[in-house]
Amino acid sequence: MFAFGLNTMNGYALLMFAIICGMIGAFIGQSRKCGVTGFIAGLFLGPLGWLLVLFNDQRRQCSECKGRIPDDASRCQHCGVVFEKPKPPPTQPPPENILEIYKTWKEKNPDKELPPHLMSDPVLDYKKWKEEKGIE
Ligand SMILES: [Zn+2]
C-alpha cells in the first residue's frame, strides 16, 4: 500500500519533470525554429534533448560566414554582409507592345538613354525577368 503510494508520487514527479524538461526544450527550440521538436526532445530526453535542439538549428544560414540569421534578415548580424532580396517575378507582365515601343525607340536612338516614360519599373523588371528565364 505504502509502496504503491510512493510509486504514484514518483510517477507524478517524473511526469512533472518531463514536462518541465519539454518546456525548456521548446524554449530553446523556439529561437531555432524547432519549438515542437524541442518540446518532444526535452520531454523524452531531458537535458540531452536540450543539447540536440541546441545543435539542430533550422534558421537560415549566412552565405558568407555560415552564421545563423533570421529568415527575413537583409543584413548578416555576424559579418555584416548585405543580402539582396530575391524579387518575385512580376505577376502581371506589361503588354508586349511596351517592349516593342522600347525596342523601336532603342533602334532609332541607340546612344541615348531611355526617356522617362519608357523607364517604368515593370518594363525593366519584366525585361530582366525574361532575360533570367532565357525567354526571347
Ligand atoms: Zn554572415
Q: What is the DSSP string of 42-75?
A: HHHHTHHHHHHHHH---SEE-TTT--EE-TT-SB
Query: Which residues hold their Cβ within 5 A of ligand 1, which is an ion?
Result: 62, 64-65, 67, 76, 78-79
**Is position 91 within any domain?**
no
* Mean pLDDT, the chain, integer: 80
- 77 contacts 69 by C-beta, under 8 angstroms: yes
Question: 61-96: buried (b, 16+ CB within 10 Å) or exposed (e) per residue?
Answer: ebeeeeebbeeeeeebeeeeeeeeeeeeeeeebbee
12 and 35 both lie in a single domain: yes
38 and 69 both lie in a single domain: no
Q: Ligand 1: distance of its center to the CA of 21 in Å?
A: 32
Range of the domain at 69: 59-86
Q: Ligand 1: distance of its center to the CA of 65 in Å?
A: 4
**Counted domains in the chain:** 3
Task: Give the residue with greater pLDDT, 46 vs 85.
Answer: 46
76 and 34 both lie in a single domain: no
47 and 70 both lie in a single domain: no
109 and 69 both lie in a single domain: no
Q: Is this prediction's pTM over 0.75?
A: no
